[in-house]
A and B are shown apart, each in its own frame.
Chain A
Amino acid sequence: MARKRRFSRKNLIIFLSVLGPGIIVSMVDNDAGGIATYSVAGARYGYSILWVMIPTVLLLYMVQEMNARMGIVTGKGLAALIRERFSLRLTALIMLAVMVANFTNAISNFAGVAASAQIFGIPRWVAVPLAGFGVWYIVLKGSYRIVEKIFLLVGGIYICYIISAFIAKPDWGAVSKGLFVPSGQLNVSYIVMVVTVIGTTIAPWMQFYQQASIVDKGLDTESLAFERLDTAVGNTFLFVAAGAIIVCCAAAFFNNPAVGMTRIETAEEAAMALAPIAGVYASTLFAVGLLFASLFAASILPLSSAYMVCEAFGWEMGIDRSFSEAKNFYLAYTIFIVGGALIVLIPGLPLITMMLISQTINGILLPVIVTCMLLIVRDRDIMGNYTNSDVYHAVAWVAVAILYILDIMLVVTTIFPVGR
């Protein structure tokens, strides 16, 4: 018994040291764009759209598990593996597209900071530069371990959404039905909403970030089971937080006859509209969640982009390196933060359109990147004995095929927004 207890304690210590990449990437996934999408989904379609989160999060787990395996087995990030397995041209094309999508995502997160700060009476020209400098400074001056701990701590703020959902007093029976009984609508706007939810939940930057941070952490194959657990915990948290946002908005707007057809387009609109319906606490918590989620993503997305570009081109990188050692890494990170923050300060910018464009690019890129991942993860030269099993691989290909179909639908409906 004593031996078993020691083993368990050892496992717990290993798990706690491994903990981070999977949880952080899942939490950041609920960024300003994500919160807006889940809010709009709940407000427009109520609990009936909840079931979409189950297959989406399962697919997200599969993708992230492959990332974890590739990172641990090869000791390389996804951008590096794509560069080594495929041509420079394909790598450059993918990098360019991901960088454009990440940059627009970064802008939307700074827009989230600005909007939520305004709810609390802080002008955007104060909040955005402060936020930009804050996240830049933490990463520039902190080691990986310190930065990861700060990120994990800040990530706890997503509990705000769970509390908001309870304050909104949903019908839990209807919530259960919406979650476990798939129901759909045969109209374009519903399909677009489903595609957007999937595209928001499984974003390409996540694959690059998680794998890079696993490599940065130096995890080995003995840690694989714990990293899988880290990913599963993160995905569960994402599922609960995203579900809570949908439930909160469904209860407050869709299922509230007094409200009628409330048009919610952004997360801050949802936060402000909640006050008269669900109370000032729900509204405040929602806005606090949006502020921290935006801050969180505003630091992770540029970091992910900096890792990615340095990996692809082989430049020195990592937040444990000094500025002089990894000049290009810090330069890329700084350009993303400063550029993103400055653009948000330009008056009259169509931020919602930019956010939609970034989600569309993300949606188009996702199956391309997962296809690259599936080719790499099945390559025995690269993965040795850690390739996908036949069944796992077949399921992943089916999922990718569905993603391609959804992508085509997303692109078509973005260009021709019928019924939106």
Chain B
Amino acid sequence: MEEGELIKISDLIKVKVYDREGLHIGHVQDLALEGDLSTPYLAYLGLHLHWTDRVGEFELVRPVEDIVLLTPWSQVQDIDEDGIRLNCVHPDIPIVTAKGKCLMRRDVLNKQMLDAAGNRIQRVDDVFIEREGKTLKVIGLEMGLGWLASSSSLQNLMEKLKKKFGGWQDKEMIPWEAVLRIDDDAVVIGEGPE
């Protein structure tokens, strides 16, 4: 996983997660942005823990298995092909609420893309991210083969997006800047305000 290399979100799902002491504690379930989409940098890791007997500061009555928690990205110490290492020790893993967060797998991957007028474009085939040091930045949405069968209105939209977001050349990808908002069941794409 080189600096600047494009990675797909689906390739990171199920990647193993280790704690500071090297204990395999679970796998990646999701990756999240701030809900207001103010920054394209992933701010949270959705962690599927094999088990835990503590959630945040709360001791549980008995250990639970297969629990998914959201931990701040600041807890990530290192990422490579073998897995993600945290800088905390299981089960003392800081957690944050999932409320109001934009989870890439839950809310974006495979969801319907709509234009600003509500017309269906196609589904999100994948999400491209790029490594910048210890952080991961969302770059765009993969269009896949759907682009080949797209309507003329979509082609017009893509041309407009291309003009507006200069430097973006890959027509199989919609730049993240073109995402206006994430609705309950759809990703809304458009040129945005002039």
Contact = CB atoms under 8 A, between A and B. Distances in A.
B135 interface: no
Nearest to B123: A314
Contact of A316 (B111, B120, B125): B120
Given A84-B110, A84-B111, A313 B146 contact: yes
Nearest to B126: A88
B110 A88 contact: yes
A39 B180 CA distance: 57
Interface in B5-45: 10
B119 interface: yes
A83 B125 CA distance: 10
Interface in A79-94: 80, 83-84, 87-88
A325 B154 CA distance: 11
B97 interface: no
A161 B57 CA distance: 70
Given A327-B151, A328-B149, A328-B151, A314 B119 contact: no
Nearest to A381: B106
A87 B110 CA distance: 8
A83 B123 contact: yes
Task: Report the contact-size class of chain B (Cβ under 8 Å from the partner).
Answer: 10 to 19
Nearest to B149: A328
A316 B118 CA distance: 10
A315 B149 contact: yes
B116 to A, nearest CB: 15
Interface string B86-128: 0000000000000000000000001111000001111101100
A118 B122 CA distance: 44
B185 interface: yes
A316 B119 contact: yes
Given A327-B151, A328-B149, A315 B110 contact: no
26 contacts: A75-B185, A76-B185, A80-B112, A83-B110, A83-B123, A84-B110, A84-B111, A88-B110, A312-B123, A313-B122, A313-B123, A313-B146, A313-B149, A314-B112, A314-B113, A314-B121, A314-B122, A315-B120, A315-B146, A316-B119, A316-B120, A316-B151, A317-B120, A324-B151, A325-B119, A327-B151
Which 5 A/B pairs are nearest by Cβ-Cβ distance?
A314-B123, A314-B122, A316-B120, A314-B112, A84-B110
Interface of B: 10, 110-113, 119-123, 125-126, 144, 146, 149, 151, 185
